[in-house]
Amino acid sequence: MAEIIVTKDNFQKEVIESEVPVLVDFWATWCGPCRMLAPTLEEIASEQEGVIKVGKVNVDEQPELARQFGIMSIPTLIVFKDGQITNQTMGLQPKASIMALL
């Protein structure tokens, strides 16, 4: 499954009401570490299809969501399970660290 573009309009359905855990990546196109992290997240989305979802929130296009979750630095990864935040981290992370979050 490809990554899901998360917006304020679909956040409730795609993240809060998801039946599987959701790894949400808060990022921006101008962010170098965000671009470096993207292939790793695409790989996780593909390998973990049906087990987790990977959502992407562009902080420039969705400032309300960035504010709601207090995003001060990107990339920020937040794991949601059963509508609740269960884990989060900031900065470029290796795949093993991201998998450990899940």
Q: Which of 15, 23, 34, 45 is catalytic?
A: 34
Both tokens of residue 27? 């990022």
CA 56/CA 48 separation, integer angstroms: 16
Active site residue 49: no
Residues 6 or more apart in contact with residue 21 via CB below 8 angstroms: 51, 52, 53, 79, 80, 81, 86, 102
Q: Is 34 a catalytic residue?
A: yes
Give the Å distances, CA to CA, from 39 to 11, 13, 43, 67. Answer: 23, 25, 6, 26
Which residue of the set 6, 31, 52, 57 is catalytic? 31
Residues catalogued as catalytic: 31, 34
